[in-house]
Structure 1
Amino acid sequence: MSAVFPGHLAEDFAAGRIIPYLGPGVLDLAPDATVPSSPETLVELITAKVTVPHKIRKNLTAASQYIENFKHRKTLVGLLQEAFQGQPQPTILHNFLANVPNPLPLIVDAWYDATMAAALAARSDFGQVQGVSRAEHFTDWVHYFRADGTKAEAEEAAGWTTLLYKPLGSIAPASNFIISDSDYVEVLTEIDIQTPIPERVKEIRTGRHFLFLGCRFRNQLERSYARQIMKRSTERHFAVLEGELTRNETRFFREQGIERIDMPLAEFVAGLTGTPVESRRAAVA
């Protein structure tokens, strides 16, 4: 790790005491990424294909709910499959997290792409657990999958060296998406008592810190998910987030014991990996 990387994190990271929590912004580390890297981009894609009321055209969950209500859930899933159909190209960060010498026990990835799973694909000792929509799976909160994409039972997760947790679902291997207002209502009704959080995730997070990368916390959904996933871990966490924070983000960081690292994500990842990173944002600029 280079001198740019915050030294106080290095030891915890090497010892496996850090849980990376990836948001859609990590895809901006790939200048040629082919899938949406923000809720704003995703909602533009799906509303370009289906007409929704103007007042909700920029609201991903509300637009998704409208499509689900008036065009059917299958239409919504089809639009998401199209948006995320691009072949995953792992970034330097994804490859680093997949191949650290002391394998990470848990990686949280709160977006719908399959890039992190693609980076882990060369290993047979990982599996993933994904949030699923109750609109499609009426009695389930999550589904488990082995490294080869086949369905697994919850008990198998204890034997995986690395667990990839996709709380919002993923395009692969089974196109699970928590995205509409009703999807979130189902989860948030129970998340305070931790019902939708997988047991193995609860076990691994104990005594560990979370490191938020490519995440924003501007709305209540983003904050609620993060708050409940890191519940009963430690009281100190970290977030790489450059520039001005919203008032809600500032309050959330203070309440949750999140230390903000104010630097570009690409710079942080370069320090973490020892490799220069050309981000999509830099390429556009």
Structure 2
Amino acid sequence: MNPALLATLTAGLADGSIVPYLGPGVLADVRSVAGGAPMPADSDSLILALNDGRPMAPKLMYEFPRAAMNVELKRGRAAVTRFLDRTYGATAWTRAAVHDWLAALRPRYVVDINRDTQLQDSYAGVPHQLVVGVARMGGSAFRYRLYGWDGAAYAERAALDPALPILFKPMGTPRPAANYIASDADYVDYITELMGGFAIPPELKALRRGKRYLLLGMRLNRDTERMVLADIIHGAASPAGWIVLAAPSDKERRFCRKLGLEIVEGELAALTGVRRAAPEAA
């Protein structure tokens, strides 16, 4: 990576003008502590893990929300929640190089569309706030829950304090309470309310104005993740930022031009300076 660009990105992440946006690829080097199996994070690996290592029908293999919807219809929404709790809440994992790198910079605002807890672990030593996406929740028009961490435990809160770090987990997390956006039905509800402005707290809407973003571990070939991204970075600076992307497709190039994202072609190791062997495919 160009040293001048690396210096710009590092400084922006540290001072809060650049927001990291984390996708499944940042977890590519993570393994189970007990057995060394790779963490299921991207769509294909999640589908296989959900189905006990067996491929599902081709139309369900297209993306994880479809497969999760199929399981939900057959066995109930709780079955998907139990799977995600077991995967991300009950299994011990090694640390990702990207998370170790970000932990040293400790950005003031981070968006993480993964469902694991490594980002929260990185901020365990400092007070911070957690915004968790929720879906299909009765009794409220809003599609988020807010928590504050005091160094020992999370507690629900009514509003965000812009002076404290904010971790945004739109697709959910097992801690402090299991909430996930997983199935097609979850995404339809969540994206609808995201577009309507009901899935982001008002303080965060104000905070994000004029920010630039650094997308890490993202592929942009799937409409679901593209819609979530476009709404979450609404109000970004122009240009909107950068994406570290190896071998971008034509579709990804067009989408990045539309959003104002500069493609930095390469691997994440060029940014973090740490090269770890990626897990073998399951």
Scaled by the length of structure 1, the TM-score of the pair is: 0.85
Pick one of 48, 71, 75 that aligns with 1:71: 75
Partner Cα distance (1:6, 1:99) in 2:
15
Counterpart in the other structure of 2:130: 128
What is the SS of the residue equivalent to 1:111? coil
- Name stretches of at least 5 consecutive residues in structure 1 with no aligned partner: 271-275
Is 1:105–1:162's contact at 8 Å kept on the other side of the alignment?
A: yes
Partner Cα distance (2:265, 2:215) in 1:
12
Identity of aligned residues (%): 26
Counterpart in the other structure of 1:273: none
Give the superposition deviation at 1:64.
0.8
RMSD of equivalent CA atoms:
2.6
Pick one of 213, 236, 244 that aligns with 1:210: 213
What is the SS of the residue equivalent to 2:213? strand
The letter of the residue matching 2:63 is: N
Q: Give the 5 Å matches for 1:1-285.
A: 3=3, 6-30=6-30, 34-48=38-52, 55-84=59-88, 85-100=90-105, 103-123=106-126, 125-134=127-136, 139=140, 140-147=142-149, 148-155=152-159, 157-158=160-161, 161-236=164-239, 237-243=241-247, 245-270=248-273, 276-280=274-278
Partner Cα distance (1:137, 1:90) in 2:
36
What is the SS of the residue equivalent to 2:20? strand
Check 1:89–1:2 CA distance in 2 against 1; reply closer, same or farther (3 A cut). Answer: farther
Which string of whole-angstrom CA distances, capped at 9 and with x for unpartnered residues, describes residues 145-172 of structure 1?
Answer: 22244331232x2165210000111122
Which string of whole-angstrom CA distances, capped at 9 and with x for unpartnered residues, describes residues 260-280 of structure 1?
Answer: 11111112211xxxxx33142
Check 1:34–1:201 CA distance in 2 against 1; reply closer, same or farther (3 A cut). Answer: farther
Give the superposition deviation at 1:3.
3.4
What is the SS of the residue equivalent to 2:65? helix
Check 1:189–1:199 CA distance in 2 against 1; reply closer, same or farther (3 A cut). Answer: same
- Name stretches of at least 5 consecutive residues in structure 2 with no aligned partner: none
What is the SS of the residue equivalent to 1:129? strand
Partner Cα distance (2:83, 2:131) in 1:
23
Is 1:90–1:119's contact at 8 Å kept on the other side of the alignment?
A: no
Partner Cα distance (2:271, 2:163) in 1:
28
Deviates more, 1:201-210 or 1:48-57: 48-57
Partner Cα distance (1:197, 1:92) in 2:
29
More helix by share: 1
Give the superposition deviation at 1:89.
3.6
Scaled by the length of structure 2, the TM-score of the pair is: 0.86
